[in-house]
Amino acid sequence: MAVKRGMFFSMIAIVMVMAIIALFVPNQEYVSLFGKVTTVKTRVGKANSFLVAVQKTMIQRALYNSGHYAVKAMVAYVNKTKQPIDLADFDEILLNGTVGGVELADMGISFMVGRGLAYRLEEISNMSARELRLDNTFTVNDVLIVQDNETGYKNFYVGVNLSVWVDADIATWNSTFVVLQVLDVEDYYDPYWIMNRDIYRGFYFANVSNWSTSLFYDFAGSLNYSYDGRAPSFLMRFENSSMGSECCGVETIMDPVAFGIDDEPWSYVDYCYFGRQCNGSKATDKSLWNITGISSVVEGENYYQFKLEVYHIDKYNLSVDRRVVQLP
Amino acid sequence: MKKGYFFMLDSFIAMSIILFSLILIFSFHTSKPYQMQGIFIADDIMDVFAGTRVEEIDNDFIYGLYTGSTNITNPKNSLAEQVAEFLITDREGLAQQFVKNITVRMVPEKYGFMIRVYNETKAWQFNISEGSVSQDEAKLIVSSKKILTGNINRTYYWGPMMAEVRIWQ
């Protein structure tokens, strides 16, 4: 009887030990789940790293390059058509290299061939899907090209508002952000001059604070530009606008002989001459003046009959020689 | 006397069962450090390769490439981007030397180590270390990949290209 009781208690002890073992040994599901945690962590890390790279570097570089060539294409378009181009068309040029649905390449303008931003985004998307197994979509919500107080007259912004969706199977990311790139006006020709005189002029900005006749002479002879809030900005020149831009207006001087410009009663500052404006500071006195040390009286000589109106005479600190035009 | 033997035997059996159960419980483990180390190494190397700028590397050869010469025009490129730039501008020899200088003692000798840079049309491979076994015979191969793009002199855009770090053992 004692033996049977002993055996009975032993059996109970063994069952209890087996129950404890069963409770504390990790089951197959736990083992496989723990093994998956590292995989999940790596996958999430990869997708996150891809999205960060897209936001911080990839789009910036693609936008800089596509934006630069899109502006070059706009200048070429103006040269081809001798017509202004609406800045609202910039998004189409930037993304697809087209204007009004027409390929610029078909017009002989090849700057955007293989450089459209939409094409570049597609390449990045395809490569990440193929190599990183990350399904993704890029959506361009908005495109902008602008000059303001931040950029000043020497630069301008090109930007996109972009949405990115990434699917890593175990998680998805949805991000919307704006990317801006600063481009340099000095990298392009002046579309205003192309339209109005069929002449290619590059933007070279003078750095003069205290003007004199000799500095003005060098400035004009070097075909430089200077800031003026009454003049149109670089971007406004694409639209052949002669209106003023307080933040970003730029102007240049015209030697009538060098540029084959007819003698007309307008100040020989580009936006004044082409825009048929500026003369005089008063409604009753629209005088134009010859400039001492600049204007020539010899026909055919540089600056023959060169003239400016009062505002620019004061701006460049010049002395006047002879009044040329006086209109009521 | 016989009772004493019985109780001793009983306690001996009980202790054995407890010991056996403890051994059984603690013998189950879920971590696999063998694979994990390789994954960590590959990821870490890729982080260094893609996240470290050229100007941050303390190496005389690399320093000379952007101070004494114009082989490197933008020292703010990451190491991976700089290698890709060398490759697409047909300077494979320079890329090889560059990779050799940045990967010195990066990986324990028992691991095989290789860097690949490729796109849809072309691929370049840098075999850094053979490791204790060849890649074909390896029991473990792990890789880490990153997409690269870049601009050269502001107007020449290249990419996208893939950079891959491959470790095997």
What integer pLDDT is reported at residue B18 of this predicted model?
79
Q: pLDDT band for position A30 (50/70/90)?
A: low
Q: How far apart are CA A65 and CA A117, in angstroms?
A: 9
What integer pLDDT is reported at residue B92 of this predicted model?
93
The answer on pLDDT for B69 being more than 80 is yes
**Mean pLDDT of all residues in A131-145:** 95
pLDDT tens by residue, B6-36: 888 888 887 887 788 778 777 765 555 456 6
User: Is B140 at the interface with chain A, CB within 8 A?
Assistant: no
Chain B, residues 44-73, CB within 8 A of chain A, namely none
The answer on pLDDT for A36 being more than 80 is no
Q: CA quadruple A195, A201, A202, A208: dihedral positive or negative? A: negative
Q: Give the CA radius of gyration of chain A.
A: 35
pLDDT tens by residue, A83-97: 999 999 999 999 999
User: Is A24 at the interface with chain B, CB within 8 A?
Assistant: yes
Q: How far is CA A125 from CA A94, A220, B159, in A?
A: 18, 50, 12
The answer on pLDDT for B101 being more than 70 is yes
What does DSSP assign to residue A153? S
User: Is A35 at the interface with chain B, CB within 8 A?
Assistant: yes
User: Is B157 at the interface with chain A, CB within 8 A?
Assistant: yes
B36 and A38 within 8 Å at the Cβ level: the answer is yes
CA-based nearest distance A198→chain B, Å: 26
What integer pLDDT is reported at residue B36 of this predicted model?
67
What's the ipTM?
Answer: 0.78
Mutate to test the interface with A, among B18, B157, B161, B166 (most CBs of A within 10 A): B157
**What is the number of other CB atoms lying within 10 angstroms of the CB of residue A303?**
24
The answer on pLDDT for B152 being more than 80 is yes
pTM, to two decimals: 0.83
What integer pLDDT is reported at residue A74 of this predicted model?
97
What integer pLDDT is reported at residue A18 of this predicted model?
78
Q: How far is CA B88 from CA A14, A83, A222, B159, B162, in A?
A: 72, 39, 39, 10, 13
Nearest Cα residue to B90 out of B140, B40, B158: B158
Answer yes or no: are the C-beta atoms of B96 and B112 closer than 8 Å: no
Select the highest-mean-pLDDT range: A80-94, A300-314, B57-71: A80-94
SS3 (DSSP) at B164: strand
pLDDT tens by residue, A43-99: 888 888 899 999 989 999 999 999 999 999 999 999 999 999 999 999 999 999 999
pLDDT tens by residue, A232-288: 999 999 999 999 999 999 999 999 999 888 888 889 999 999 998 887 656 667 789
B160 and A124 within 8 Å at the Cβ level: the answer is yes
Q: How far apart are CA A100 and CA A92, in angstroms?
A: 8
Q: How far is CA B46 from CA A289, A325, B79, in A?
A: 69, 73, 10
Out of B6, B17, B162, the one facing A14 most closely (by C-beta) is B17
- Residues of chain A in contact with residue B25, where contact means CB-CB under 8 angstroms, are 21, 24-25
What integer pLDDT is reported at residue A31 of this predicted model?
52
